[in-house]
A and B are shown apart, each in its own frame.
Chain A
Amino acid sequence: DSGVTQTPKHLITATGQRVTLRCSPRSGDLSVYWYQQSLDQGLQFLIQYYNGEERAKGNILERFSAQQFPDLHSELNLSSLELGDSALYFCASNPGLTQGGNEQFFGPGTRLTVL
C-alpha cells in the first residue's frame, strides 16, 4: 500500500458525459501527478500540482482539467467523454522537492470505461 488513495475504483459512463476522479496523496506529500495508461500508449503524464499550484502540463486534452485543494487532495475532471478516453487513470504523489530525481508513489488507479 503506497498511501495514495483514489476513488472511485471503477467508473462506467457514456460518451459526452463528464466525470470527476479523486486522489488523496500520501501524508506530507505536496506534489500530485496525474497519468493516463491506455493499452496502446503506456503511462502518459497529464499534469502536476504542487501545493495547490499547477506545476507542469503534459499532453492533457483541453476537455480535461485538474485542481489541487487546500487539504492537498486533487481532482481530475474529464468532460465531453469519448470512447478513446477509456483508460486507467493514476494519481501519484511525492514531497515535491525540486532537486534530485525523487520517486513518485502511485495510487491504485481509477478504471474509466466510456460506452
Chain B
Amino acid sequence: EDQVTQSPEALRLQEGESSSLNCSYTVSGLRGLFWYRQDPGKGPEFLFTLYSAGEEKEKERLKATLTKKESFLHITAPKPEDSATYLCAVRGQETSGSRLTFGEGTQLTVNP
C-alpha cells in the first residue's frame, strides 16, 4: 500500500525566510510524485510532477526535488501570498487505475 508522510505539519516563516517542506513516501514502483497547493476551502492546484530520483523542477519561488525515498519543496524568499497548505501525492505502479495517495499536507504561513 502506498504511503505518504509530510513534515512539518505546520510551518510559520517570515517574509524572505527560505525553508523546505519534506515528503517521505513508500510506493511500489513510483509512477509519479506530485506537489499541489491548496488554499482554504478551494481545490488543490497542481504545481509539479517528478518521475525519477535526481529530477528537479522550478516555478517562481518554488523548487521541487526527488530522491528514492523523499521529495523536498524548497521555498526561496517566500512572500505572504505563498501561504497555503502544500500537498504531496504519489502514484504507484501497482495502483489500480491512476489513483493518487496524498499526504496530510504542510500548512505554510508567511508573515509580512
**Interface set of A (CB-CB < 8 Å, partner B):** 2, 4, 31, 33, 42-45, 48, 50, 55-58, 88, 90, 94, 96, 98, 100-109, 111
Task: Please name all residues of chain B whose beta carbon is closer than 8 Å to the beta carbon of A58 when the two chains form the complex.
Answer: 99
Asked if A56 and B97 make an inter-chain contact with CB atoms under 8 angstroms apart, the answer reads: yes
Known contacts being A42-B102, A42-B103, is A108 close to B34, with CB within 8 Å? no
Number of contact residues on B: which range applies?
Answer: 20 to 34
Chain B residue with Cβ nearest A43: B102
User: Which label, helix, strand, loop or mixed, suits the secondary structure of the A interface?
Assistant: strand
Q: Is the CB of B98 within 8 A of A56?
A: yes
Q: Given the interface contacts A31-B98, A48-B97, does A109 sit within 8 Å of B32 by beta carbon?
A: no
- Selected from B43, B99, B101, the residue in CB contact (under 8 A) with A109 is B43
| Chain B residues with CB below 8 A from A56, complex form | 95-99
Interchain CB contact under 8 A, B51 and A106:
no
